[in-house]
Structure 1
Amino acid sequence: MKDFKVGIVQLPAKGDKNHNLEKMEEYVNKASEMGADVVCLPEMWNCPYQNSYFLKFAEKEYDISYKKMSEVAKKNKIYLVGGSIPVKIGDKIYNRSYVFNRDGEEIYRYSKVNLFDIEGFKESDTLSGGKSLGVFETEFGIFGLAICFDLRFPEMFQRFREFGAEVIFAPSTFLVKTGEKHFQLLNQARAIDSQCYMISPTIARDDDLSRNAYAHSLVIEPSGEVVIDMGTEPSVEVVEIKAEKVKREREKFPLEKSRENRKL
């Protein structure tokens, strides 16, 4: 792994998709100007986090949001981890993330496996879950990609580690009630479990359709230390990711060696 700079975009999702697309481009441009090599968007950045909007804003593959992300990545010569958007395939809608390289080419995609089904709200009322998990590679290293509710499933993050990941992106849209209790805790736990950096951009809070968003985008070191908490307002931050932090944490606590020793 090599050192690199990551841009974290925290913006609210409005009821006007064109507005969301324009704001995404504006914020990614800013992150690039600040020196970011890789930029990550939040979960459902183009769509308010409500089942009715998942249905209303769902796009076919390679539609307007996909094209705009590709265009923005190419224009800024960055890697873009596209948060997630609702994508319609046949009669199903997926909560899907796309990753683009510096030339605007798609290099990876992931559909959220663990749907947010809790008391009072079910993503599965409108969304279908993905079935596969993997990693993607850049010149900076191997990265994992999860989405929001996936943070509650530590076995996924152990798989990322087994696949060679040293940085894991987890674009999210936690709500205030659960976010206050669990968002930072889960990110710290997954960082410590996997001995990876956790990079978790979230939707910003506002007085409109994102008023229940917890926000507080995070970057967590492999040790569990919080590098940045972005609060609730719309913003862009750029953070340096240091390969030595991963290397040293794994040297200090050789968890994989312990796993080998206990195998029967």
Structure 2
Amino acid sequence: MRVAVCQLNSRADRAENLAVARGLLDRAAAAGADLAVLPEYVDFLGPAAQAPKPEGIDGEFAAFFAAAARELGMWVHAGSFHETGPDDEHTYNTTLLFDRTGALTATYRKIHLYDVEIPGRVSYQESRTVAAGSDVVIAAVDGVETGLSICYDLRFPELYRQLAVRGARVLVVPAAFMAHTGRDHWEVLLRARAIENQCYVVAAGQIGDHDPGRTCFGRSMVIDPWGTVVAQLPDEVGVAVADLDLDRLARIRRDVPSLANRRL
């Protein structure tokens, strides 16, 4: 399986963000990707007052990426967007996964919400406006079991262990990871999730400044089950492509059978 991670600097102009995303998907398809992964909140990162109205999973956002998947003949993981939530005060932070025909094959709602207060650095309470999901989701992408997650989920290894135990061989992480924490934690956490679960990790991040006054770390990457970074983007908008060697994954699980040996 060939995968592509697409790195964006989404801002408050939704139409522009979607146009850039489609251009990156075109590049991924031209590179032969079977699956392209976009970052968290791919369509909008900006002031809440300017945010687009939340949509259902059959709205304009879904139609846009379904059409891209169908026209490119490629699996498209549409990062995440603000889905209509359980009440007027909350949305869901939701991933949609489309197959080569443009059919919606999986929906995942972010379980762990980013409620963080780092004095002088980060102040963000995602739970004020976003409701938590509850379902652990795996989808078969061309027959390869792929576990879904979003950004802050990365800090909760129990989710990824559940995905691995349920059969996942690939773990997908769309993100808008903050620069302050990303410098020290992003790659370390991604590599840990790959090593401990003996899975490929495919992580697509936002890069650069966005309103109101936040900066995303970027460094989108693909990591193999040994913990080796096999592809990584520099600090700019772009696409990186990697081939997932599933035979290598099987050998690693055979030679170091930590999943099989677990006791809890």
TM-score interval (norm. to shorter)? over 0.9
- 5+ long unaligned stretches in structure 2: 118-122
Name segments (4+ residues, structure 1) moved above 4 Å: 206-211
CA shift at 1:121, angstroms? Answer: 1.1
CA distance 1:184–1:58, change in 2 (3 Å): farther
Instruction: Tell me the equivalent position of 1:25.
Output: 22
Aligned residues: 256
- Post-superposition CA distance 1:63-100 (Å, at most 9, x none): 22111000000000111111101111342301000000
Task: Give me the whole-angstrom Cα distance separating, in 2, the residues matched to 1:219 and 1:210.
Answer: 28
CA distance 1:49–1:172, change in 2 (3 Å): farther
- Residue identity in the other structure for 1:25: R
Q: Which has the higher strand share?
A: 2
Task: Tell me the TM-score normalized by structure 1.
Answer: 0.92
Instruction: Tell me the equivalent position of 1:192.
Output: 195
- Residue identity in the other structure for 2:38: L
CA shift at 1:58, angstroms? Answer: 3.9
CA distance 1:189–1:35, change in 2 (3 Å): same
Give yes or no for the alignment of 1:115 onto 2:76.
no
CA distance 1:193–1:49, change in 2 (3 Å): farther
* Contact kept? 2:28, 2:241, Cα under 8 Å: yes
Task: Tell me the TM-score normalized by structure 2.
Answer: 0.92
Give yes or no for the alignment of 1:247 onto 2:254.
no
Pick which of 216-225 and 206-215 moved more. 206-215
* Contact kept? 1:87, 1:93, Cα under 8 Å: yes
Instruction: Tell me the equivalent position of 1:41.
Output: 38
RMSD: 1.7
46, 60, 70: which is aligned to 1:64?
60
235, 238, 241: which is aligned to 1:238?
241
* Contact kept? 2:232, 2:240, Cα under 8 Å: no
What SS does the aligned partner of 2:102 have? Answer: coil
CA distance 1:207–1:164, change in 2 (3 Å): closer
Give yes or no for the alignment of 1:226 onto 2:233.
no
97, 102, 109: which is aligned to 2:100?
102
What SS does the aligned partner of 1:124 have? Answer: helix
Aligned-residue sequence identity (percent) comes to: 29
Task: Give me the whole-angstrom Cα distance separating, in 2, the residues matched to 1:139 and 1:248.
Answer: 21
CA shift at 1:136, angstroms? Answer: 0.5
- Residue identity in the other structure for 1:56: A
What SS does the aligned partner of 1:113 have? Answer: coil
Task: Give me the whole-angstrom Cα distance separating, in 1, the residues matched to 2:210 and 2:151.
Answer: 22
Task: Give me the whole-angstrom Cα distance separating, in 1, the residues matched to 2:103 and 2:143.
Answer: 17
Instruction: Tell me the equivalent position of 2:145.
Output: 142
Q: Aligned runs of 1:127-166 on 2, under 5 Å?
A: 127-166=130-169
Task: Give me the whole-angstrom Cα distance separating, in 1, the residues matched to 2:36 and 2:237.
Answer: 15
- Residue identity in the other structure for 2:62: Y
